[in-house]
């Protein structure tokens, strides 16, 4: 799954979240147990949770011991330490003292028997036991006949008579003390009573033992209300602490999850951005600028959102489910099958809902993309839309995209709105089923009310966790698409990269030399090359002019110098070294490239000029601005170099933008200056002054000037004339006027024969018309430049 890849490097945070979630689930799921304790122990058992009383009268312990084996009696005796005022205090461990502990198990049955005897047992209940035999007429007669037995027999008869012939503890004591029953006989009688209780015996015994403890406390003068209040208070405290613990862990998980997700988003944006920074125009074109922006904002946000949900909810759901399942099976309620039924019902509901909504969710992503695309198209093209009166058409186009999205969102939201009530219905039906089945258990005494309540809570937890999982599953496909879109950019292979072992021009080689060796270039996916077999070599400190009609490949040619594209065939060399073998940064450091459309960054004039080289001092900055003929308008600004520049240089004119772009390139003090039609927005006088200043101020840098205007390049040391990607002329202005027909036509379409130093007859109307046709309006390009 593409999403998981984003967690790489965040394993520790994920582990911390998982750990915190386990703690949170355990704390949260302990609450129903305590609630069950409050009901079962606190309310129903008066706050007494164990058959082992904290304190017991010595005489009562002796009564209990009559029904224990000697070994058990000793064990209990040891657990009850020293006697004080006839009362013993329990000193055994808490574990042993529980109902299921060693002491608890020993004491339960004797306590029940003693309690029953204290209330009086009908001898019928003891039929066929050793105790009933001991009470037979014969035995009593035998007892009365012995010298010491007369008194005992009399006491026994009195005791029986006082309780309507029922057997009481007092009577059993007399029998036991006078040897009429042995300990073994009493134990077997007790076991017989236990067996008679049958299936519900366990629960009954436990409750009777608790009643015994209550009676014992009362006999000792301990207030039962105090015992109950103490227990309830204790439980309340524990529950409060658990709630607090849950709160703390929930906040901690939220904190770690949000932090991790935010970091993941930040790292992803960083990786994305640095990848895009290395993209050549080919890769940018492949994704489109709009899509790259959406991918690094919206898509990353989607990933961040799902990461938080993964760490908080999706991971919590199975943990909750498992812990609740363990807890629920520990209740031994016999209703575990209901959970299976509940889950089946939830799966059915989720299956139907997700089956219908999931495809729509996936479609939603592409509809959002479509809406973005249409909006961007409209906003970018606002001017032509107005100019051509296409507002209605564009509005319809937007409306269609927007309505499609709305319909899908409505469908999904309606389905989701339907989901909650259905799930609630399922949950209520499940609760009803638990109460129905549980009530029967409560009725026969196999289940306590509190346990049933806890079971309901656990079942709801399990169902809820699966439900949350289902609901979150709906969000995953969208995030998955976002993750794929982001990964696509990150994994996109770069068409232009630095070589593994870069070379640098030899130390003694001349600086500022650009050489093209039989270079051919074809745009990716294009059928034909736009530059064909171009060869030239500049000389140190000399100027190369490139001229040609619109679309002849001039800009493409100079883009090969700073490796914005790589030549399809042939080699581009700088200072004698192939640019493909050089470190990319090294190549670009040597070149000051001024693109066709001057681009400025938001900031100030100063920050823009110092963009390529922050180390230059103010004098050098001023010099660059002077050469670029930018000082005249900078000086007019009240803030001078501190004048703010808006995004994309929107607050300066096209010509000013070009001049600042030129100043930026000059400030970098490169070996090679490349001007891609960078003077087009300048008036003739400024153009001339700039070229003059350049000649003096560029030092030893090689200058490559692409131009549409002959005047811009006619002073160049060498001029290349391009036509449909081929070099059709090469030489100085003078040479080309004589030898290159294409150049001659371009020149004559722009300047008079006199300006060109040609005989007057050369400027015929026919030549002018022909030339104007060949060159698609350089004058209009100038206007366009101004408007930019």
Ligand X SMILES: Nc1ncnc2c1ncn2[C@@H]1O[C@H](COP(=O)(O)OP(=O)(O)OP(=O)(O)O)[C@@H](O)[C@H]1O
**Interface ranges with ligand X (CB under 6 A):** 285, 523, 526, 530, 548, 550-556, 596, 677, 708
Structural contact between residues 503 and 476, judged by C-beta atoms closer than 8 angstroms = no
Tokens of 238: 């524990």
* Min CB(305)–ligand X separation in Å: 36
Structural contact between residues 140 and 153, judged by C-beta atoms closer than 8 angstroms = yes
**Of the two residues 116 and 556, which places its CB atom closer to ligand X in the complex?**
556
**Contact partners, residue 394, CB within 8 Å, separation at least 6:** 378, 385
Strand partners, 517: 571
Q: At what angle do helices 391-444 and 449-490 cross, to 10 degrees?
A: 150
* Min CB(286)–ligand X separation in Å: 11
* Min CB(530)–ligand X separation in Å: 4
* Min CB(676)–ligand X separation in Å: 7
* Min CB(567)–ligand X separation in Å: 14
* Min CB(558)–ligand X separation in Å: 8
**Of the two residues 77 and 568, which places its CB atom closer to ligand X in the complex?**
568
Q: DSSP string spanning 670-714?
A: -SEEEEESTTTTS-HHHHHHHHHHHHHHSTT-EEEEEES-HHHHT
Cα 705 from chain centre: 51
| Strand, helix or coil for residue 369 | helix
Q: DSSP string spanning 297-346?
A: IIIHHHHHHHHHHIIIIITHHHHHHHHHHHHHHHTT-S-HHHHHHHHHHH
Strand partners, 537: 515
**Of the two residues 522 and 610, which places its CB atom closer to ligand X in the complex?**
522
Going across the sheet that includes 718-723, the strands are 591-594, 672-676, 702-707, 543-548, 718-723, 726-731
**Of the two residues 295 and 554, which places its CB atom closer to ligand X in the complex?**
554
Q: DSSP string spanning 254-288?
A: HHHHHHHHHHHHHHHHHHHHHHHHT--HHHHHHH-
* Min CB(285)–ligand X separation in Å: 6
**Of the two residues 236 and 526, which places its CB atom closer to ligand X in the complex?**
526
**Of the two residues 42 and 553, which places its CB atom closer to ligand X in the complex?**
553
Nearest to 736 by CA among 548, 550, 540: 548
* Min CB(520)–ligand X separation in Å: 13
**Of the two residues 285 and 576, which places its CB atom closer to ligand X in the complex?**
285
> Sign (positive/negative) of CA torsion 618, 619, 620, 625?
positive
* Min CB(281)–ligand X separation in Å: 6
Strand partners, 705: 545, 675
Per the document, the length of the chain is 788
* Min CB(284)–ligand X separation in Å: 10
**Of the two residues 168 and 680, which places its CB atom closer to ligand X in the complex?**
680
Tokens of 733: 């202005």
Phi/psi for 741 (5° steps) reads: -60, -45
Going across the sheet that includes 55-57, the strands are 55-57, 87-89, 83-84
* Min CB(250)–ligand X separation in Å: 53
**Of the two residues 534 and 737, which places its CB atom closer to ligand X in the complex?**
534
**Of the two residues 403 and 780, which places its CB atom closer to ligand X in the complex?**
780
* Min CB(351)–ligand X separation in Å: 49
Scored b (16 or more CB within 10 A) or e, 463-479 reads bbbbbbbbbbebbbbbb
* Min CB(486)–ligand X separation in Å: 25
Q: DSSP string spanning 530-547?
A: SEEEEEEE--TT-EEEEE
Tokens of 570: 């042939």
Q: Compute how many other C-beta atoms are within 10 angstroms of the C-beta atom of residue 532.
A: 19
Could you give the CA distance from residue 242 to residue 701 in angstroms, rounded to a whole number?
76
Q: At what angle do helices 449-490 and 336-380 cross, to 10 degrees?
A: 30
User: What 8-state DSSP symbol labels residue 18?
Assistant: H
Structural contact between residues 87 and 56, judged by C-beta atoms closer than 8 angstroms = yes
Which secondary-structure segment (H or E) carries 517?
A: strand 514-521
Could you give the CA distance from residue 232 to residue 112 in angstroms, rounded to a whole number?
25
* Min CB(656)–ligand X separation in Å: 21
* Min CB(360)–ligand X separation in Å: 37
* Min CB(695)–ligand X separation in Å: 24
* Min CB(708)–ligand X separation in Å: 6
Nearest to 706 by CA among 566, 593, 589, 564: 593
Q: Which runs of consecutive H residues, i.e. helices, occur in 332-448? A: 336-380, 382-387, 391-444
**Strand 672-676, strand 591-594: pairing:** parallel
What radius of gyration, in Å, describes the C-alpha atoms of the chain? 48
Going across the sheet that includes 531-537, the strands are 531-537, 514-521, 569-574, 577-578
* Min CB(553)–ligand X separation in Å: 4
**Contact partners, residue 480, CB within 8 Å, separation at least 6:** 1, 2, 3
**Of the two residues 28 and 676, which places its CB atom closer to ligand X in the complex?**
676
> Sign (positive/negative) of CA torsion 595, 597, 602, 603?
positive
**Of the two residues 14 and 673, which places its CB atom closer to ligand X in the complex?**
673
> Sign (positive/negative) of CA torsion 422, 425, 431, 437?
negative
């Amino acid at each position: 799954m593409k999403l998981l890849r984003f967690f790489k490097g965040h394993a520790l945070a994920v582990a911390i979240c998982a750990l915190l979630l386990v703690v949170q689930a355990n704390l949260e799921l302990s609450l129903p147990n305590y609630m069950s304790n409050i009901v079962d122990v606190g309310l129903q058992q008066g706050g007494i949770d164990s058959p082992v009383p904290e304190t017991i009268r010595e005489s009562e312990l002796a009564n209990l011991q009559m029904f224990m084996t000697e070994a058990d009696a000793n064990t209990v005796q040891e657990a009850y330490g020293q006697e004080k005022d006839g009362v013993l205090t329990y000193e055994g461990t808490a574990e042993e003292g529980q109902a299921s502990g060693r002491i608890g198990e020993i004491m339960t049955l004797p306590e029940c028997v003693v309690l029953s005897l204290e209330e009086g047992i009908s001898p019928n209940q003891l039929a066929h036991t050793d105790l009933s035999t001991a009470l037979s007429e014969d035995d009593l007669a035998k007892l009365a006949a012995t010298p010491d037995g007369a008194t005992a027999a009399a006491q026994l008869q009195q005791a029986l008579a006082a309780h309507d012939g029922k057997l009481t503890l007092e009577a059993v004591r007399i029998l036991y003390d006078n040897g009429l029953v042995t300990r073994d006989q009493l134990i077997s009688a007790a076991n017989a009573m236990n067996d008679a209780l049958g299936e519900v015996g366990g629960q009954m015994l436990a409750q009777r033992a608790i009643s015994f403890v209550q009676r014992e406390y009362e006999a000792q003068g301990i207030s039962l209300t105090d015992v109950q209040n103490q227990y309830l208070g204790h439980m309340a405290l524990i529950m409060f602490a658990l709630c607090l613990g849950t709160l703390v862990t929930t906040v901690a998980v939220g904190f770690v999850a949000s932090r991790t997700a935010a970091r993941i988003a930040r790292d992803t944006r960083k990786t994305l951005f640095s990848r895009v920074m290395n993209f050549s125009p080919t890769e940018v074109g492949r994704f489109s600028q709009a899509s790259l922006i959406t991918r690094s904002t919206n898509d990353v946000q989607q990933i961040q959102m799902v990461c938080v949900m993964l760490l908080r909810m999706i991971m919590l759901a199975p943990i909750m489910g498992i812990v609740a399942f363990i807890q629920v099976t520990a209740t031994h309620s016999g209703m575990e099958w209901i959970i299976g039924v509940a889950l089946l019902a939830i799966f059915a509901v989720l299956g139907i809902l997700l089956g219908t909504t999931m495809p729509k969710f996936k479609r939603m992503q592409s509809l959002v993309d479509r809406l973005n695309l249409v909006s961007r198209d409209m906003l970018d093209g606002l001017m032509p839309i107005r100019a051509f009166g296409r507002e209605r058409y564009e509005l319809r186009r937007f409306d269609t995209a927007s309505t499609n999205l709305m319909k899908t969102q409505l469908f999904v939201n309606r389905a989701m709105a339907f989901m909650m009530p259905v799930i609630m219905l399922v949950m209520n039906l499940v609760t009803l089923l638990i109460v129905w089945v549980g009530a029967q258990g409560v009725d026969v005494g196999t289940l306590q009310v509190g346990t049933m309540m806890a079971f309901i809570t656990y079942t709801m937890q399990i169902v809820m966790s699966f439900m949350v999982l289902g609901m979150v599953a709906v969000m995953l496909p969208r995030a998955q698409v976002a993750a794929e879109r982001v990964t696509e950019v990150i994994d996109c292979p770069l068409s232009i990269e630095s070589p593994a072992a870069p070379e640098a021009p030899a130390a003694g080689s001349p600086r500022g030399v650009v050489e093209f060796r039989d270079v051919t270039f074809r745009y990716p996916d294009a059928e034909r090359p736009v530059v064909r077999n171009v060869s030239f070599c500049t000389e140190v400190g000399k100027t190369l002019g490139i001229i040609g009609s619109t679309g002849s490949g001039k800009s493409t040619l100079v883009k090969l110098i700073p490796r914005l594209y790589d030549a399809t065939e042939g080699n581009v060399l700088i200072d004698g070294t192939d640019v493909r073998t050089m470190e990319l940064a090294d190549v670009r450091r040597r070149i000051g490239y001024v693109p066709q459309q001057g681009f400025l960054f938001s900031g100030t004039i100063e920050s823009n000029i110092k963009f390529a080289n922050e180390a230059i001092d103010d004098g050098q900055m001023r010099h660059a601005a002077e050469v670029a003929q930018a000082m005249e308008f900078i000086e007019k600004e009240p803030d001078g170099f501190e004048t703010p520049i808006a995004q994309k240089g929107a607050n300066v004119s096209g010509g000013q933008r070009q001049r600042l772009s030129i100043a930026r390139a000059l400030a970098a003090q490169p070996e090679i200056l490349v001007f891609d039609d960078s003077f087009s927005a300048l008036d003739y006088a400024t153009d001339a002054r700039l070229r003059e200043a350049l000649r003096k101020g560029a030092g030893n840098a090689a200058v490559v000037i692409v131009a549409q205007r002959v005047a811009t390049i006619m002073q160049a040391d060498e001029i290349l004339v391009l036509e449909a990607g081929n070099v059709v002329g090469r030489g100085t202005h003078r040479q080309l006027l004589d030898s290159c027909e294409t150049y001659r036509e371009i020149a004559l379409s722009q300047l008079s024969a006199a300006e060109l130093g040609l005989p007057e007859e050369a400027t015929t109307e026919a030549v002018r018309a022909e030339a104007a046709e060949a060159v698609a309006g350089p004058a209009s390009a100038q206007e366009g430049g101004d408007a930019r």
